[in-house]
Chains A and B, each alone.
Chain A
Amino acid sequence: MPDNNDSTFVFRLQSDNEQHDLSNTIKHWSKSQIYGDQQINAIKSTNQQSMHQPTSIPSPFARIALVKTAFSEVAKHGEQALRAYQKIVSDTLDVAEIFFTLDKWKDKVEIITWKYGRKENSPELEDDSDLKKLHSGHGQIYKTLKTFLENDAVAYNFDKMKNIYILKYKRTGDMIGATSPSTLFFSSANNYNDIDIMLNSQRRAFEGIVPLYQRNWSFQKYLYSWIAQYKENRNVDGRDISIFDEFIKYLETQKPLINRTAEINALTSVDTNIFIQLRSPDVEVLGKPLYQNKNFGPEIWTANDILEDTLIRIPFKINKNSFFDGNMPNGSTQTYLLPIKEKFFTEYTVEDLKRFIRINHSGDVATVIIEIDTQTIEKQYKKSNNTLIELTFDCAIFPNVKFSNENLANYRFGLVCDFREKDKFDVEFVKINSNIEQTMRRFSVRNETHSLNRQLKNYSLEGSIFNYIKITYEGKSGIIIPNIEEGKGSSKFTFAIDFGTTNTHIEYRIDNNNDSKSFDIKKLPIDEKQIHYLHGGEDLLKNYFDEEYIPSYTDEEFMFPMRTALSYGENTNWLNVYPFEKASLNVLYEKRIDYPYNKTETDLKWSDDQDYRNKVKAYIESIMYILRNKVILNHGNLADTIIIWFYPVSMERRRYENLVTVWNEAYRKYFGDKKSNIISITESIAPFEYYIKDGDTSKLVTIDIGGETTDIVISINGNADYITSFRFAANAVFGDGYSKNLRVKNGIVTQFSNQIREDLKTVITNKEDEIFRIFDDMITNKRSDDIASFLFSLKYNKRVRAFGENFANNVNLNYKLINDTTQKITFIFFYSAIIYHIAKLMKTLNTEMPDKIVFSGNGSRVIQFLTTDNEILQDYTKLIFENVFGKEYLNRGLKIIPLGENPKVATCKGGFYLSQPYDYESILNKKVVLHSNGTNQLIQIKNPTNSDKYITINDDYLEKTVEEVKEFISFVFENLHFFAERGYQLNGDSIDIARKICTQNLYNYAKEGWKLKRKEIQNDEIINESLFFYPLVGMLKELTVAICDNNTNN
């Protein structure tokens, strides 16, 4: 039978479904063609899932050949290729990655160089010393290797080879991979998936199958750029074929999967900025250098990459609400600094860390576990080998708010440690992947020399946000992450700040609510604390934050109004001072004893210190700092915040303008540029506005008595018609008069401080108690008005109240003075002087007598020491007006509004009710000042002559002033009967003393007062306050001392 059909059946493995181009008309044995790649490919794997590596290459270099085939197969069939091939390719890429990250594995891996180098383009050998070593004793393998190296030179590039570099895994001595002349690298046939090389975040080296496209970009980039630079062709039978053909084909098939084709195609050479040549040995393939990564990605991180060698522990429970705790088990009673190296954040965020980390601990062993994607990085720290160390310190962040406008960001971070340890600690604000400019960071300490105290190392950050804080102790570091919340909101805050001589008060209201409140820091409904301790486990450490920053919450100790006091540390340079660094408001002044390295200044408002302006600035900025934190914490809008501040009418323009500058600058710095949001109001107007709004009356006088000044507004038609102001206020009663030194204290202070100290001793038996230390410090170092404030404040003192509220109510200056009779005459003079002067002024102004007088200001408290009986007060006041005016009140009475609990509130609240803007000029236009030279003339402010200016003040003027004062003193004595008639107890001795001394030194006092004033003013300035009170300031001090002496002698 002849063959009549051309098509035959051929004994071959190729599937006819595959393209193989082999003849299908083969008869018997006849001519076909070589099984090239295409024909080989057409043979279908029988068991694609097999992990058995095909081991049929009859060459000792079969492994190199097999890897080459594997690349070819995987390039062609991808994930359809034999699993074993996919595995070989994956393992080979692992080898490549180990070389790529070689420095990381120096402790685990060493390189062995097998020398077999051809001279370039020559069959001669350059250095085949290692092959030669086999010649004797191993002839069989020598001969075979040589045969194949020579015979298969072209196929595997042995002819271009220099050396093979083999990776030896030190622990086991296993060879885990090497360079290949054909595919750059080749893997071992052994199954080494227990090798402890965390090649990438997913896995250990040689585990599973990971194609190139699933590997990290820098590795991919390296391979593509290497090939781009070092690819080379070889001419085989007239065809140019790449010497790394299979490897390149594999790279090509991975390219679309990586999905950065344009980027890859643009690569022309290895970027030596990112990749560095492998050295010692100089690993190469066919003389072409291999490189390693300068930076290592998370896939190849190990514990040492991202975890510190030492874990720092503090033996107090972390304040979990304020700082991230590292996901410790519940109930943990310790604080761990997170031992995270910066490298972690090259790939991940703080939020990632919070998800990834766990800290398990038991006794003196702690394990830190980081679960990055599927990789778990773990490190154990032990006290026994000093990888776990325990330190005692605390930190606080102030505030913990996130600033949406980075320019406005402003943080303080304090670390309190033992003085001897101070130089071992360092703190750094870290902003991930970014440098915080040096100019945005400051460091300060207040305690520079007091080794018995702790040191609060204060780190400021201004104009930049941060992601975490790095704490270093003797080179060992850990980080802490404050739970910073972004305060976003639109609530509109208005603050009214009465920066008084003695006391400062802040009222605020939100969104034009009618109610306003004293400044507070509350736990509920929103926890608005600004100071966040890391652990706060030790009060001793916390106290430093209370003193140099502020306490966490307002309470009976930390409350407004508070003393106007600025504390500052050693070596404060006032030219370069910032709030809550070297200096800040001392909110616990007189309530706790300051650390000895701190000094406190109270006379800020009227100080003539050359650093005055910077001190005021530090004080005002301190206030601004806490105000704006409150705004953010309460979802307010910083830019919409309105700040109202007050100044006394009697303040000279220079002083006033200084203040304006300080307030405006502080506003701009802490709130923003909207200038119209910072408003200044005279102290006189504010309470007036408050009472007017309270629905009042036609003929009203408001008297705001502060520490230093008294401001008066006279209203006849419901407007603030006249304003006057003078520096005669509470300090005139409790101060040191014109004394230049502190040796002779105010009599009231002396008389009652001794009494109060004795009272305290009855319950506080420990003579070393802090309260006595404060006491002694005050008496020795402070001015009388400060001491008086302290004695008043005992009523609210935490320590005193600890012995019962009744005790506190009784053991304070307020209580003593209300029940005292000896010093009453002092208060009669004080009160009478003010009313007398107003009456004379009003008479000169030709107004009617007032229907109502309202007192405000902290100094108004003094009035209660005159009498707590409002009727007596009203009648006495009426008496003065009627006497001065020379007419009776008829049917109309005079009403005096008694003081509220917080007399400064009226000032602040008044600020909110301002019906019209009062600038300095408009206030000036309302200002009236009465000459004290017996003329009873008003000083002409609008069209002044020289007689209205300070130039007119001379001895004669002063003498005439003394005359007026004498007239006044007589007036008081003449009317003392009023009190006797009302059953009011006046101490007879005291009246006698008064009669004796009141007029003795009036002229001297007038001169002293004038001398002080002259320092502030120019001759050409218009007289801005009556000189009437100058002699009285000295006279009252003298009187108190005399009465005190009398009492003491008795």
Chain B
Amino acid sequence: MSKLYVFGIGGTGARVLRSLTMLLSAGVECGVDTIVPVIIDRDISNKDLSRTKLLIEDYIVVNRCVDANGTNKFFKTKISLLGGNLFLQLSDNAQQFDEFIGRSTMSQENNALIDMLFSKETLKLNMTKGFEGNPNIGSVVLNQFDNNDIFKAFANDFHDGDKIFIISSIFGGTGASGFPLLRKILHTPNVKDAEGNPLANWGLINKAPIGAISVLPYFIVESPPKGSLVNSDTFIDKTKAALSYYKNEDKKIDTFYYIGDTLTSTYEHHKGGTEQMNSAHFVELASALAILDFVNSDKQNENFHRDAHNNITETTYKEFGIKTNSPKLTFDNLTDETRNLIVNPLSRFLLFAKYMGYRVVTEIINGKETLIVRKIPSNDIFEKEHKYQPYAHKLFTEDFRRTNSIQKLESIQAKFVEWLLEMELQNRKFTPFNLFSDRANDFINGELKIIKPDNFMYKNWAKVDNELNKQIVKTHKSLQNDTRFIELFNRVTEELINYKN
């Protein structure tokens, strides 16, 4: 049982974790049994966060019902939370940074130093909505892991062989602050909690394999309203400044992943809070792939260089490449390795979702044509067919669909399609699928062929139904219905969709 602790810091951390969860939902291979995500952000009202949180909660429910020992790939990797918490919550009530550090009671000398290190604006910054692009105060405020329950749980939970991965964006506020700080804490010997008790397993943590991805700018925000410190006209320069600082991380991280994109999307400007919800982006998907790369056992020799004392002798730096550049990416643009990893799982899970009726339609919302994911009754094949098709007989009745796990499964499926749609709507589009298609066999964009050229007797959804009927007998009868349902769809989609180089 090996675990990967994934610390997702800030909005980007949350979004990459969302992509990772989507990949795991679709059954992308993961080199560890369990992923333990920890989202670090003071801006807990952040919609990116809450969306990821809901997704992971759904995932955990669905994951519990899949057969860990079977052939099923969907939701196969376990996601567990430390003490049931996804967020590393920072426990203070101070609204302003200067209050947080207790400036008013400092000596003159320390006050002077603080004034030199922090601008007046940042000292007076209301931090309830994050650090607004000031990772320097983040580095102070976030430095309370050691006294945090979730952090203590992490220490308690940690076992030899477990790995650590840190996701952060380099150009924002919270994300940028957390990474070097967290890395420093993880490598600080003998960390004690506030009561002075040593944290458990700390020596293991000090020496644990550690990877990190630094997400460089791939989007910009609109010009800020007055009063916000978030300003993307310096995103690139902030990145450069931070990159200079990150040079100090050399040999302190086993594998370090860089990613960024010059073809940027423009996001609405939000300081944070409930309004901050940024659409999924291919870069986040690729970043999620970095996590999987880090724990990929085939990459062991590539990713880790340690000496006899288990000290890092060399940091492996990695970048992400695709075959050809295009503002509109399909699987065709990806390299073989990427395709091999994701084409089948994503296609299969999408087919599953489509069978359940989820697709993209155009609706007029507030007088504006909007693309939206809906469960369309006319496309809800399961709804139409389960009464008639043998595979569902007595197993997957109407009540079945109201079981919690299946509801969560469908919720994830809807979110999955939404996730794909979001990636399609970026300036850098990732549009491997035709999400409007109501058909079972022509939803791949581009030239890649994923559907086996077979069996001419059944067309479209009849083919899926046929396969369902065929495969149900191969599933284990002892399985719970929901487990069996997922197992069934795994087998069917594998049968129908099988891309190979």
Q: Which residues of A contact B (CB under 8 A)?
A: 1-3, 5, 8-13, 15, 22-23, 25-37, 39-40, 43-47, 50, 52-66, 68-69, 72-73, 82, 84-85, 112-115, 130, 133-134, 137-141, 143-144, 147-148, 151-152, 154-155, 164, 166, 168, 174-175, 177-178, 186, 188-190
Contacts and interface: CB of A to CB of B under 8 A. Distances in A.
Interface in B181-233: 181, 184-185, 187-188, 194, 216-218, 220, 229, 231, 233
Given A29-B290, A114-B112, A58 B179 contact: yes
Contacts of A22: 319
Given A31-B316, A32-B258, A59 B245 contact: yes
Given A27-B336, A32-B319, A12 B259 contact: yes
A2 B501 contact: yes
Interface residues of B, number: 102
Nearest to B119: A189
B289 A28 contact: yes
A28 B238 contact: no
A9 B323 contact: yes
B143 A143 contact: yes
A54 B241 contact: yes
Interface string B243-266: 111111010000011111110000
A155 to B, nearest CB: 5
Majority DSSP secondary structure for residues of B touching A: helix
B253 to A, nearest CB: 10
B335 A3 contact: yes
Given A60-B139, A138-B101, A147-B185, A26 B319 contact: yes
Interface string B287-328: 001100100000000100000000000011111111111000
B109 A113 contact: yes
Contact of A189 (B118, B178, B241, B302): B118
Nearest to B333: A9
B119 to A, nearest CB: 4
B41 to A, nearest CB: 14
Contact of A130 (B113, B115, B237, B324): B113
Given A54-B238, A58-B179, 12 more contacts: A12-B260, A27-B338, A34-B315, A47-B234, A50-B233, A52-B233, A52-B234, A54-B237, A58-B139, A113-B109, A144-B140, A155-B247
Contact of A33 (B248, B317, B332): B317
The 8 A-B pairs at the shortest CB distance, nearest first, are namely A26-B321, A56-B238, A62-B136, A189-B119, A9-B325, A58-B135, A28-B337, A175-B115
Given A138-B102, A178-B116, A57 B135 contact: yes
B246 A11 contact: no
A292 B203 CA distance: 50
B170 interface: yes
Nearest to B114: A141
Contact of A9 (B184, B220, B241, B322): B322
Contacts of B496: none
A384 B398 CA distance: 100
B2 interface: no
A460 to B, nearest CB: 58
13 contacts: A1-B448, A12-B319, A46-B220, A55-B136, A56-B135, A57-B176, A57-B245, A58-B177, A62-B136, A112-B108, A134-B110, A175-B112, A175-B115
A50 B234 contact: yes
Contacts of A27: 321, 323, 335-338
Contacts, number: 295
Contact of A60 (B140, B187, B335, B341): B140
Given A2-B501, A28-B337, A140-B144, A58 B239 contact: no
Interface string B322-352: 1111000000111111100100000000000
A114 B109 contact: yes
Contacts of B178: 58
Contacts of A35: 243, 246-247, 258, 317
Contacts of A10: 319-321
Given A30-B319, A147-B184, A174-B115, A40 B338 contact: no
Contacts of A1: 332, 336, 447-448, 501
Most chain A CB within 10 A, of B137, B172, B234, is at B234
Contacts of B108: 112
Contacts of A155: 245, 247-248
Contact of B109 (A37, A39, A130, A190): A130
Contacts of B448: 1
Given A8-B335, A43-B236, A52-B233, A63 B136 contact: yes
A228 to B, nearest CB: 26
A137 B102 contact: yes
B462 interface: no
Given A13-B217, A57-B241, A62-B117, A84 B234 contact: yes
A61 B293 CA distance: 33
A636 B417 CA distance: 105
Contact of A140 (B143, B248, B261, B286): B143
A57 B180 CA distance: 9
B320 A26 contact: yes
Contacts of B172: 56
A58 B290 contact: no
Most chain B CB within 10 A, of A8, A115, A174, A177, is at A8
B23 to A, nearest CB: 14
Contacts of B334: 28
Contact of A13 (B231, B236, B289, B293): B236
A64 B244 CA distance: 12
B106 interface: yes
A420 to B, nearest CB: 54
Contacts of B139: 58-60, 62, 144, 148
B458 interface: no
Contacts of A23: 319
Nearest to B261: A11
Contacts of B231: 52
A31 B139 CA distance: 29
Contacts of A26: 319-321
Contacts of A12: 216, 258-260, 319
A62 B244 CA distance: 11
Nearest to A178: B116
A133 B245 contact: no
Contacts of A144: 139-140, 143, 181
Contacts of A139: 194
Contacts of B87: none
B432 interface: no
A58 B240 contact: no
Nearest to A37: B244
A152 B248 contact: yes
Contact of B180 (A59, A69, A166, A186): A59
B92 to A, nearest CB: 8
B318 to A, nearest CB: 5
Given A8-B322, A12-B259, A29 B245 contact: no
Given A26-B320, A73-B240, A82-B237, A164 B143 contact: no
B133 interface: yes
B320 A34 contact: no
Contacts of B388: none
B184 A56 contact: no
Contacts of A30: 318-319, 321
A809 B184 CA distance: 114
A114 B194 CA distance: 26
Given A3-B336, A9-B324, A32-B318, A55 B133 contact: yes
B242 A57 contact: yes
A525 B324 CA distance: 93
A82 B194 CA distance: 42
A56 B242 contact: yes
A56 B259 contact: no
A28 B109 contact: no
Most chain B CB within 10 A, of A3, A50, A55, A130, is at A55
B286 A40 contact: no
